[in-house]
Amino acid sequence: MSASTTIEPSVEEVEGYNTDALITVLNGKNFGLNENEIQIIREQGIDGASFLMLNEKRFKECNIRIGPRAKLVNWNNNLNNQRQGDFPNLNSLKDVVEEIVRGLDFKMEQGFNKIRHAIEEAIYSPGTDLTGTENGKTVMDKGTHIVFPLKWTTSSKRSGNERFTNSPNRNVDPKEEEVQQYFINECKELDKTSNIKNKLIVVDKHSSPSLGTRKSDFLFISKGSHLNMLNVVAVGEIQKRGSDNFNSAQIGQAISFGEKVLQLQPRRTFVYVILTDSIVINIYVVHRVDQNTHSNPTTKFTYQYITPAFLEFSGSNDADNTGWKLLVTIMESSPNILGWVEPSLKFGNNTVNLVRSIGVGRTSVVYQGKHDDALIAVKVAKKANYLPCFEKEYTALNDLSSLNSIHIPKILFNSVDALVISQVCERIGNLRKKDIKDIISTLEKVHSLNYVHRDLRKYNLVRDQLGNIVIIDWGYSIKLEGNHNFAFAGALECMPDNILQSIVNDDDINYGPGVDLTCLVHSFYLMLHRPSLDRIPFDKGDDIKSRAQMMLNFWMDCGRSDVWDNIYNAIEILDYDQLIQQLERLF
């Protein structure tokens, strides 16, 4: 790579840019945007997420000239195409698809809507297994009241803005968005004033997700750093109070953002959480406690809270201005005082620096790391509860390394809660024809060593820098040695009928190589017909039987034709070559 080569940001990175970050990137590219066009982007509040939604017509409405507009559209399309991947040639699929459609006596859209509803209920839940209200009650009932532990600020502000004296909800009942914007504007003024020696700035995030799928209202990051979940120092939520105090649901929601930060930042043990309505400020400290007993490792959260205080700064001599000082003290504090830890990991004499988060799964966070100037992937457990998965994954990958396959990750370093993989891969949108043979041939070799992946789905298929498909996430894999009965694990929406029926009937679940092959075929089917369909998690405390029955009904109505019957017959007799041929027909 030459010195002039730059690394293109991923669509996920661009989606997380605020307006200033987006403008910085645009200025660094040869798009030919003039000052007026840059100012339009700033005035219109176009951030990374909204930029990705714009098309040629919208850019024209923003009075972007045709030359720069064409370049912006091209870059925008390239970014969005990262989500799409390679799709089978639909023209060549015409006859096959028509045959499939004729075999469907089923309203597909209705079925998918039911599934999506179940998915959303399961995925968008707090960091713990408690509801927001239950979590809030836990904080107030079992949390510890403490005196503010930081050294109080000596700064003051006698006039002007940034004193929180004119909150829109002081005498009227405005929209919550107005309260949120008022608080953010006052914080921005605090950042500008010479009286405040702030080391942190407040970043407005109430309009876009910032912590994976979680959407906090604002974040504190170090002055001069860029927005990245690894750089989040403290987190905050802006809510309207219905009475004198915030209710349990509001407290629980704010606390869940703190828990999420502790899951996304390895080695961090506590984080400050701010809950405010621009009149009153509540401050909580969320602590992560890992109990790494070998038989039952768990992660628990404990909570501390400080007496709520009014946020307004009063110029009178006898005013203590406690709430204002609480906020400013946090802004003037060093990140390490607030619990932030440098994002790096040690493996013996080797240090791996974490660059950015590139994925969040149910058991882990995956980071892009750097070691000896080489980019690598680093997988870190979200909770101690998932340490057995890491042990299983290390054992499986170590055993499977004997295959010397480019389609199976190779481990560079490992610890009890982290795995360092040899290269950074990209997510796929869909499969290529070549992938079919590569995946199935690899599975045949894996099965010959008595291993079953059990979680073969779209999100566990990635592509390396050379374009090779790689099968990842072996934490739920099993080795078949006599007993084939195991507890359920895997992506429920991709499971074969016999597994789903066993869940519904409360029967023992019998795993075999065919499970991986069916999961692959089901994943491929979902990519063809509904690429945006998310998985249904299996580790939530809701009614898995009902959802298993839902998926069983779905697969009984879908993929029923001569084409798919031939595919399932090849799976049933474990004819890997025949399965390759049948699936390659679809390209």
Kindly give the residue spans of alpha helices, DSSP state H, lying in 208-302.
Answer: 248-264
Strands 364-371 and 350-360 come out as antiparallel
DSSP string, 402-439: GG--TTS--EEEEETTEEEESS--EE-SS--HHHHHHH
Contact, 476 vs 448, CB < 8 A? no
Measuring CA to CA, which residue among 520, 560, 555 is closest to residue 115? Answer: 555
Residues 6+ apart with CB under 8 A from 241: 247, 250, 277, 279, 280
Distance CA 300, CA 289 (A): 5
CA distance 164 to 175: 17
Question: Which residue, chain included where needed, has tokens 């700035």?
Answer: 201
Cβ(209)–Cβ(124) under 8 Å? no
The partner residues of 381 in beta bridges, in order of sequence, read: 364
Of 188, 259, 182, 179, which is closest to residue 223 (Cα–Cα)? Answer: 188
CA distance 259 to 254: 9
Q: What are 200's strand-pairing partners?
A: 222
Closest alpha carbon to 427 in 81, 166, 142, 184: 81
Report the alpha-carbon distance of residue 358 to residue 130 in Å, rounded. Answer: 27
Confirm or deny that 215 is annotated as ligand binding: no
CB 238 within 8 A of CB 277: yes
Maximal C-alpha separation, the chain: 85
Provide the annotated binding site for ATP.
383
Q: Which residues make up each annotated binding site?
A: 383
